[in-house]
Amino acid sequence: MSKFYKIITYGCQMNIHDSEKIAGMLALRGYAETQDEALCDVIVFNTCCIRENAEDHAFGNIGALKQLKKRKPSLIIAVGGCMTQQQGEAEILREKFPFVDIVFGTHNLEAFGILLDRKLSTGKKVVEIKDSAGKIIEGVKPFRTSYPNAWVNIMQGCNNFCTYCIVPYVRGRERSRALINIFAEVNVLVKSGYKEITLLGQNVNSYGKDLGDGTDFATLIRKLSEITGDYRLRFMTNHPKDLTEELVKAVAENEHCCHQIHLPLQSGSDRILKLMNRHYTSEDYLEKVALIRKYMPDCAISTDLMIGFPTETEEDFLDTLRVCEKVGFSSAFTFVYSRRRGTPADKMEEQIPEDVKKDRIMRLVDFTNGQTRDFSVDYAGKVVTVLCEDFDKKKGLYMGRDEYGRMGYFSSERNVIGEFIDVKVTSVNGISLFGEIA
Ligand code: SF4
């Protein structure tokens, strides 16, 4: 008889890839994926605590399964990810959601299969949160559902302790995978037909620092250039303080690397950047932008921006807009600062009132949307090469990104998913391009 699972994932790309690993462990045990919860034998919540709303959302969705569990007691409900790794969270889950069967953290995600086996053989609740992250466990085969794209973790954790961020507390310190293992994984993916590989880490620019053998991210990028084939290479996310000239050169010289770099600015105010513990000034940031453009003049630079950090004044906010103006971002992810328990920023007294935050985020979104549109306008009439990722049922069009990250939509008589297609852009709408096969 078939066994089914569903994984509900919150948060970032790292979490989405972690869910692929959980899916791999379930597939190995004979489970198939379904979106129909009533059919499920296992439902896993892979949670995120980086933003408050993701956490609230997860709690709401876990609570909503209470009735299903009553009707189907054999259903196994598991909760893992960053949220469970926070101090006291496992106890909250135990008290508020006693029907949850398995609780696991980020440090033992790779052991999820073993925890499931234990639950099935003993029938007892399993709660296992490890305090510290050990060595990276190799060999968990992800069940990939994102063809032609594939994500490859190159490291875990973060050493930076930005004062607003919970990640170093719940994901531990930086641990890099051996270069040889990353090379082997990327090589297999390319040889098996994946067309876009994204290297993942909280700060990929500090890859290798813990390996102690002189390997760094530039070394990795150069090594990967030995892998031949028709594919693209991306990486995220970067930290401006660690982006070196040697790395930018390595990226520019690797013909597979996309000319798109995501470089989180967060704030354009030096005072706020200092309070955030970001270790760069707005001037340093602009120098990194100049460095990228020196070697890749066409490079699209995208960013993360945060408003409403404690003590942020109108002038600080305007500094952010000024830096945005100078850079000309291809796109920006904009966030309202959200208090995270246990972080230094949470203890700062002068929190910004909600109405001020609301006003600033609206102005920021307006501004960055304008930049996004300006970047797109230049596309009109051009031929761009997109990697077709999927068919958009609503639009009735195929969709794919160009190397700068713009999504293009076009029609085709045949299925072209997984192919590089030249598209002539006939119209532009915000971040989206529309066109026809050239
Ligand atoms: S670099 Fe800063 S924001 Fe990014 S994960 Fe590390 S602590 Fe968090």
CATH code at position 12:
3.40.50.12160
Neighbours of 150 (CB within 10 A): 23
Q: How confident is the model at residue 87 (pLDDT cuts 50, 70, 90)?
A: confident
Evaluate whether residue 343 is within a structural domain.
no
Evaluate whether residue 171 is within a structural domain.
no
Atom of ligand 1 nearest to the CA of 237: 4
Evaluate whether residue 32 is within a structural domain.
yes
Q: What is the pLDDT of residue 1?
A: 67
- pTM of the prediction? 0.92
Cis omega before residue 228 (within 30°)?
Answer: no
Residue in 49, 62, 65 with CA at minimum distance from that of residue 106: 49
Q: What is the pLDDT of residue 50?
A: 78
Q: Please name the residue whose Cα sits nearest to atom 8 of ligand 1.
A: 165
Evaluate whether residue 12 is within a structural domain.
yes
> Domain boundary at 71, 96, 128, which?
128
Evaluate whether residue 412 is within a structural domain.
yes
Question: Is any ligand 1 atom within 6 A of the Cβ of residue 161?
Answer: yes
Residue in 150, 152, 115, 149 with CA at minimum distance from that of residue 136: 152
- Rounded alpha-carbon distances, angstroms, from residue 43 to 15, 65, 222: 16, 9, 41
Evaluate whether residue 418 is within a structural domain.
yes
Q: Is the pLDDT reported for residue 427 higher than 90? A: yes
> Domain boundary at 108, 128, 148, which?
128
Q: What is the pLDDT of residue 414?
A: 96
Evaluate whether residue 162 is within a structural domain.
no
Tens-digit pLDDT profile for residues 358-373: 999 999 999 999 999 9
> Domain boundary at 75, 108, 128, which?
128
Atom of ligand 1 nearest to the CA of 165: 8
Atom of ligand 1 nearest to the CA of 159: 6
Tokens encoding 391:
């068919």
- Choose one of 163, 166, 167, 209 to mutate for the ligand 1 pocket test, by most ligand atoms within 8 angstroms of C-beta: 167
Number of domains within the chain: 2
The enclosing domain of 419 has a CATH number of: 2.40.50.140
Evaluate whether residue 38 is within a structural domain.
yes
Neighbours of 417 (CB within 10 A): 16
Question: Is any ligand 1 atom within 6 A of the Cβ of residue 176?
Answer: no
Tokens encoding 110:
């790779």
Strands of 65-209 (E only): list them.
76-81, 102-104, 126-128, 149-153, 155-156, 175-176, 196-200
Atom of ligand 1 nearest to the CA of 266: 3
Question: Is any ligand 1 atom within 6 A of the Cβ of residue 203?
Answer: yes
- Choose one of 106, 169, 239, 273 to mutate for the ligand 1 pocket test, by most ligand atoms within 8 angstroms of C-beta: 239
| Domain extent for 413 | 383-437
| Gyration radius (Cα) of the chain, Å | 22
